[in-house]
Chain A
Amino acid sequence: MLKKTTKLMVLLLITAGLLIGCSSGEEENTNPDATTLSFWNRLPELTTHFESFIASFEEEHPDINIEMQTLGASGNQQYQTAIKNNELPDIFVTANVTSLKNLVDQELLHNLNDVVTPEVKEQFYPGVWSENLTTIGEDIYQLPLNSGKSAVLMYYNKDVLSEYGVSEGQIPTTWDELREVGKDIYEQSGGGTYGLIMGAEATWLSDMTINQMATNITPEVHPSIDVARRINYKTGQPDFVNDGSTQTIEYLKQLMDENVLSPSSIEYNEPTAIANFAAGKSAFYFDGNWAGSVLMNEEEGPGFENWGVAPMPTEDGGTYYNDMAAKEGLMVSNNTEHWEEVQTFLNYFIENGYRDVIVASGAHEPPVDIEVTDPPFEQYNKINELSNQLSVATPNIYKQNNSTIGFIQDYQGGLSYSAGSILAGYMQGEVTDPVAELEEAQQQAMEVFNENLNKYEDVSESDFVFDDWVPFEPYTTE
């Protein structure tokens, strides 16, 4: 009997231990009747600020509990599975595994027309309401998180510049100037410091850098890496082999050969490149407008403050551009059982989130006009100013013909080359003739493009031709 009792006690203790071990350790919701909304965040740069925002929201709305999950490297798989099984969370940051239209066609998204009423819509910059990014027809399906204005910029380390006698007035604006300054810094430092660092292992980042830099030479080729990749809006065809691409790739390789660009760049992804730039391994660094917030971040970045930002140098010192597109936003599952609560959350976000999450993170410019009197860091307004200058509204192929959405998705999927990966191969010595590689890319792109023209009968080459478009000038259908 005693043995049995002891066994039972041990069993109970083990069970209790297991249950304790399974608990999350998080504070339990004080309101047992609270409605729980699931929320997936795919953008790590916003995690900290989303957390504090959610805490404030829950304090003001004790009847609603938000369970946020930040998706890691396996975010794409998680979205694919959720979409396939129709198990998307109540609210989520853009699932970038398929087009907005595809999700709407599958009836997976709840439209946000009740939240973004015509009056609310007017508060936003008009450029954010774009077919297949935030809207489908007249319906709104994505609440934009940012203004869509972004560009690759050149960050400079003020400590390095002052050590090697380069004033801010001497920040290079042309390719030749960057080469000269870079060579000088390398020589002065005895090889310890380079002029430039890139995160070239992240080929998407190199791709963005090359595409945007190349617009200074070949502006008619669309610079986007995920909308109309490498399509020439004057000829209406893929255009991989052009002066812009070839000269930019050759220039960056030349920088590496002349010890201006750190050879480590080829092994650096974005975070490691940022860390090395902050550590004074180079004077300049190319990255998107979001990199400023990473530089300043003490937990997920180097926490470095003494830097400045300027446009990337171009061949002739002229400007370059990126297309303006609000790609990231908040979406709502059509399966949500708590639409009322979701609306409360989204309204609260529109009211406070753009200030407390988007501006506070310093990673993006909000999609609404907020006067930033107390920026998250000194350089924030300068970054936004540059992004505004360099982001230009380009013709919207989706608006012209809705069938191009599927066409572009299939076209993108069929490509296995990018300018960024060709540059990486060239720097690694695996590609000896980048032009030949670009020609192969061109040939493949043409094959995929023509196959899709046959497949999508209501899409023609003319859907990609915009004779009335003047590059660098904002394009409006009016």
Chain B
Amino acid sequence: MAAKNSNLSKFKRSRQIWAYIFIMPQAIVFLGLSLYPIIMSYVYSLYSWDGASPLTNFIGFDNYIELFQTSRFWSALLATVIYMIGTTALGVGSSLLLAIVLNANNMKGKAFYRTIYFIPVIATTAIIGVIMKNIFGIDGTVNQLLQYIGLVDQPISWLNTSTLAMLLLILIGTWKNLGINMIYWLSGLQAIPTDLYESAQLDGAGFWKTLFHITLPLLKPILVVILLLSVVSGMNAFDLVKTFTNGNPYHTTETLDLYVFNYAFGGGLTGATTRMGYASAAGVMLGMFTLLISGIFGLISVYTRRKINKETG
């Protein structure tokens, strides 16, 4: 019996070793490609560095001090928060409605509609930005249409009015991610046991009662996941913002990731001087902000799961 146990533990240990061996290449690549740049961005942020000179001019926290004293940085942070809240609020809610509709038993052509709503997800964001810029530009399709049908005399400056530009960014960002959120919700909806609905129906519960007392409560765990993913996605809007508004008008739609790009590679102003050190400090702040938000949602997720587990015994 003891020999048998010893063989078993040997076998287990051998499997564990092999598991680590198989994981190692991926772990090395991950550390190399993800962790190293993150660590180096912290290092760069302590230097006055243009990205092309020797890394010699150590300035401590000066980049951070300058960052905090720059109104454009705070404006970029605000734009990021507005975009993130806007896309999350709009995207999570609308995709839930869509998923409920496309999950209905009596709905015909569900696969077709699901595919249609998923198409923007696989489309390249930068291309969407360019196309939308042509659509909403001052000479764009929307203005031409509005003028043709006589709704407006003068074209609307969609992209050069800060509120309109931000609103459009949020709407397009939401539309782009609608399909993926819908798929998450559908997975949540399909995980709810059908016998619960059948029992409710037998008890005479209608659509709304079923929705508020069965569907939505049971979707709480997936809600937290979708919220987290939407928030993180909302913090990284670079492709769309760069191609659609490029931070215009007057930096009001410049999100933090675009701000980092402008200083790291675009020279902040004209491309004459790049500031990799300063941009790294802004990147570190963006990373910390994302981490903070993710942490909060992580805690909420744990709390929700515990609560549900407690309630279900």
What residue in chain B is nearest A409 (Cβ atoms)? B273
A424 to B271, CA, bound (A): 17
Query: A95 near B: Cβ within 8 Å?
Result: yes
Q: Is the beta-carbon distance between B51 and A413 smaller than 8 angstroms?
A: no
A79 to B264, CA, bound (A): 12
Instruction: Choose one: A74, A413, A418, A429; the contact of B160 (CB below 8 Å).
Output: A429
Known: A80-B276, A428-B250. A226 touches B270 (CB 8 A): yes
Known: A97-B274, A225-B272, A428-B160. A83 touches B138 (CB 8 A): no
Q: Is the beta-carbon distance between B72 and A225 smaller than 8 angstroms?
A: no
Query: B137 near A: Cβ within 8 Å?
Result: yes
What residue in chain B is nearest A265 (Cβ atoms)? B138
Which of A14-22, A200-208, A347-355 lies on the face that meets chain B?
A: A200-208
Q: Is the beta-carbon distance between B270 and A409 smaller than 8 angstroms?
A: no
A77 to B274, CA, bound (A): 10
Instruction: Choose one: B54, B138, B246, B248; the contact of A106 (CB below 8 Å).
Output: B54
The minimal Cβ–Cβ distance linking B22 to chain A, given in whole angstroms, is: 24
Q: Is the beta-carbon distance between A409 and B160 smaller than 8 angstroms?
A: no
Instruction: Choose one: A84, A264, A427; the contact of B52 (CB below 8 Å).
Output: A84
Query: B53 near A: Cβ within 8 Å?
Result: yes
Please give, as numbers and ranges, the residues of chain A lying within 8 Å of B155 by CB-CB distance. Answer: 263
Query: A98 near B: Cβ within 8 Å?
Result: yes
A428 to B251, CA, bound (A): 11
The minimal Cβ–Cβ distance linking A114 to chain B, given in whole angstroms, is: 26
Query: B120 near A: Cβ within 8 Å?
Result: no
Instruction: Choose one: B52, B248, B267, B272; the contact of A102 (CB below 8 Å).
Output: B52
Q: Is the beta-carbon distance between A428 and B52 smaller than 8 angstroms?
A: no
The minimal Cβ–Cβ distance linking B245 to chain A, given in whole angstroms, is: 10
Instruction: Choose one: B246, B249, B250, B271; the contact of A76 (CB below 8 Å).
Output: B271
Q: Is the beta-carbon distance between A201 and B248 smaller than 8 angstroms?
A: yes
Known: A84-B52, A97-B52, A201-B246. A421 touches B137 (CB 8 A): no
Contact residues of B: prevailing secondary structure: loop
Q: Is the beta-carbon distance between A424 and B139 smaller than 8 angstroms?
A: no
Please give, as numbers and ranges, the residues of chain B lying within 8 Å of A225 by CB-CB distance. Answer: 270, 272
What residue in chain B is nearest A80 (Cβ atoms)? B51
The minimal Cβ–Cβ distance linking B86 to chain A, given in whole angstroms, is: 20
Query: A381 near B: Cβ within 8 Å?
Result: no
The minimal Cβ–Cβ distance linking B129 to chain A, given in whole angstroms, is: 13
Q: Is the beta-carbon distance between B274 and A80 smaller than 8 angstroms?
A: yes
In chain B, residues 236-272, which have Cβ atoms closer than 8 Å to a Cβ of chain A? 246, 248-250, 252, 265-272
Q: Is the beta-carbon distance between B269 and A430 smaller than 8 angstroms?
A: no
Query: A184 near B: Cβ within 8 Å?
Result: no
Query: A271 near B: Cβ within 8 Å?
Result: no
Q: Is the beta-carbon distance between A416 and B268 smaller than 8 angstroms?
A: yes
In chain B, residues 39-78, which have Cβ atoms closer than 8 Å to a Cβ of chain A? 48, 50-54, 70, 72
Q: Is the beta-carbon distance between B269 and A266 smaller than 8 angstroms?
A: no
Q: Is the beta-carbon distance between A416 and B70 smaller than 8 angstroms?
A: yes
Query: B9 near A: Cβ within 8 Å?
Result: no
Query: A385 near B: Cβ within 8 Å?
Result: no
Instruction: Choose one: A98, A103, A204, A266; the contact of B270 (CB below 8 Å).
Output: A204
Query: B176 near A: Cβ within 8 Å?
Result: no
The interface size of chain A toward B, counting residues with CB under 8 Å, comes to: 42
Instruction: Choose one: A97, A410, A415, A416; the contact of B51 (CB below 8 Å).
Output: A97
Q: Is the beta-carbon distance between B274 and A418 smaller than 8 angstroms?
A: no
In chain B, residues 126-162, which have Cβ atoms closer than 8 Å to a Cβ of chain A? 137-139, 155, 157, 159-162
In chain A, residues 382-417, which have Cβ atoms closer than 8 Å to a Cβ of chain B? 409-410, 412-413, 415-417
A323 to B161, CA, bound (A): 36
A418 to B265, CA, bound (A): 17
Query: A267 near B: Cβ within 8 Å?
Result: yes
What residue in chain A is nearest B62 (Cβ atoms)? A451
A424 to B159, CA, bound (A): 13
Q: Is the beta-carbon distance between A413 and B268 smaller than 8 angstroms?
A: yes
The minimal Cβ–Cβ distance linking A40 to chain B, given in whole angstroms, is: 14
A237 to B271, CA, bound (A): 22
Query: A431 near B: Cβ within 8 Å?
Result: yes
A428 to B271, CA, bound (A): 22
Query: A62 near B: Cβ within 8 Å?
Result: no
Known: A80-B265, A263-B157, A430-B252. A203 touches B270 (CB 8 A): yes
Please give, as numbers and ranges, the residues of chain B lying within 8 Å of A74 by CB-CB distance. Answer: 265
The minimal Cβ–Cβ distance linking A186 to chain B, given in whole angstroms, is: 13
Q: Is the beta-carbon distance between A204 and B52 smaller than 8 angstroms?
A: no
Q: Is the beta-carbon distance between A266 and B160 smaller than 8 angstroms?
A: yes
Q: Is the beta-carbon distance between B273 and A83 smaller than 8 angstroms?
A: no
In chain B, residues 260-296, which have Cβ atoms closer than 8 Å to a Cβ of chain A? 265-276, 278
Query: A425 near B: Cβ within 8 Å?
Result: yes
Please give, as numbers and ranges, the residues of chain A lying within 8 Å of B157 by CB-CB distance. Answer: 263, 266, 428
Q: Is the beta-carbon distance between B51 and A84 smaller than 8 angstroms?
A: yes
Known: A76-B271, A80-B276, A413-B273. A264 touches B161 (CB 8 A): no
A229 to B268, CA, bound (A): 14
A40 to B293, CA, bound (A): 42
Query: A96 near B: Cβ within 8 Å?
Result: yes
Instruction: Choose one: A226, A420, A430; the contact of B249 (CB below 8 Å).
Output: A430
Please give, as numbers and ranges, the residues of chain B lying within 8 Å of A267 by CB-CB distance. Answer: 137-138, 159-160
A181 to B215, CA, bound (A): 68
Q: Is the beta-carbon distance between A428 and B248 smaller than 8 angstroms?
A: yes
Q: Is the beta-carbon distance between A429 and B269 smaller than 8 angstroms?
A: no
The minimal Cβ–Cβ distance linking B3 to chain A, given in whole angstroms, is: 41
In chain B, residues 285-311, which have Cβ atoms closer than 8 Å to a Cβ of chain A? none
Q: Interface centre among A204, A409, A413, by most B CB within 10 Å?
A: A413
A-B contact pairs, 23 of them (CB 8 A): A74-B265, A83-B52, A97-B50, A106-B54, A201-B246, A204-B270, A263-B138, A263-B157, A266-B249, A267-B137, A267-B138, A412-B267, A412-B272, A413-B267, A413-B273, A413-B275, A415-B268, A415-B269, A421-B250, A428-B248, A429-B160, A429-B161, A430-B162
B-side residues, CB < 8 A to A, are 48, 50-54, 70, 72, 137-139, 155, 157, 159-162, 246, 248-250, 252, 265-276, 278
Beyond A204-B270, A413-B50, A424-B250, 12 additional contacts (C-beta under 8 Å) are A95-B52, A96-B271, A102-B52, A201-B246, A204-B271, A264-B137, A267-B137, A418-B269, A421-B269, A424-B249, A429-B161, A430-B250
A-side residues, CB < 8 A to B, are 74, 76-77, 79-80, 83-84, 95-98, 102-103, 106, 201, 203-204, 207, 225-226, 229, 263-264, 266-267, 409-410, 412-413, 415-418, 420-421, 424-425, 427-431
